[in-house]
Structure 1
Amino acid sequence: MRKRKAHNSIKTAERLARQKLKHTAIGCVAAQGPCQLLDLRTQKPLVMHPATFQLISQLRHQWTVYIAVFGINVFGKHYSKSEEIQVTHPQFQRDMVETLNTHHKKLVDGFNPNHLLSVGWLATPYIYEWREEQAFKMLESLGALAFEKTDKNEIYSLIA
């Protein structure tokens, strides 16, 4: 008689998470509110249920993060500088915070402070290759460019 495969609840949860989080990303723009769950196919926000939040935060994932800094030049044209970070081994979302802050700070420090408008990031809990146009469009929909600069170099959000 053949022995049944042992039940492994962690592997079952990881498999469920991969299925549930397929074609999704988490996005955030500083000063525009909390992080949002996004559908990569439609590029629209999804409702973040507590169960989805648990799948993201309580399991290790092989994250791919796209970080960007947005600016506006003297001619009024928007532009961005970005970097893609791929995690080499699965880790918790909370363990990535320090690494991402370091990368974001380095990106902001290399940006012209007179042009700086906002910062944002997109993350997928699986290996994903971001296209710059797609990422720019998604961060723009989250409000990355919804800021205005005054002559005194002060930044104001256009979203009230």
Structure 2
Amino acid sequence: MKKRKPNNMRTRIERASRALLNANHVAVVHIDPSGRQGMINRKSCTSIPPGQRMAEAVCDVAHRWTIYVSVQCRDQRGHRYTKSVEVAPQGNYLAAHLEDVIEDTYKTLVAESNPNHRVASGWIAIPAEISLTEEQAAQVFDAVGVWDQQRAA
């Protein structure tokens, strides 16, 4: 006779949290200079209202993250262009521990961009191993208003 695996509550919570995030196609977006940060559905580009269950699923469970860092620029003729890089740190990380990975890549990319052309910069963090195309990332950034934002006071 087989012996059943013991009930592991932490594993069940992690599995349920990942299922919730995958079902809602959650991505965390941050844009500067306004400093706006929030969660968005990366497929439909609609804002996800803040809620305790969703926040716990993102912050309290370690995930394999994919981070898309981008700088939005506009040249003298008004043409928009972006400089972007995608980072996928190895291993599972809590959201609080991603700051170092994001900050290093973010500062490097901003330093490489032309300060006279720079309109905004930001990142999209996805709590899954999913790669974004440039078009998908542009749609997400457009949905949060990266091209016409006001500087935070």
TM-score of the aligned structures, taking structure 1 as reference length: 0.87
- The separation in 1 between residues aligned to 2:81 and 2:34, in whole angstroms, is 19
2:14 corresponds to 1:14: yes
Question: Residues 145-160 of structure 1: matches in 2 within 5 Å?
Answer: 145-147=147-149, 157=150
Seen in structure 2, the aligned counterparts of structure 1 residues 146 and 107 have a Cα distance that, compared at 3 Å, is: same
CA RMSD of aligned residues (A): 1.7
Structure 2 distance, partners of 1:91, 1:11, is: 16
**2 CA distance for matches of 1:96 and 1:26?**
12
Aligned counterpart, 1:41: 43
Residue 150 (structure 1) aligns with: none
* 1:79 matched residue in structure 2: 81
The gaps in structure 1 that reach 5 residues or longer are 148-156
Question: Who is 2:108 aligned against?
Answer: 106
Query: Which protein shows a greater Rg?
Result: 1
User: Which residue identity lines up with residue 69 of structure 2 in the other structure?
Assistant: I
Distance 1:107 1:98, change over 3 A: same
Unpaired runs of at least 5, structure 2: none
How do 1:1-150 and structure 2 match up within 5 A? 1-22=1-22, 23-147=25-149
Q: Which amino acid aligns with 1:43?
A: C
- In the alignment of these two chains, the number of paired residues is 150
TM-score for both structures, normalised by structure 2? 0.91
Amino acid corresponding to residue 10 of structure 1 in structure 2: R
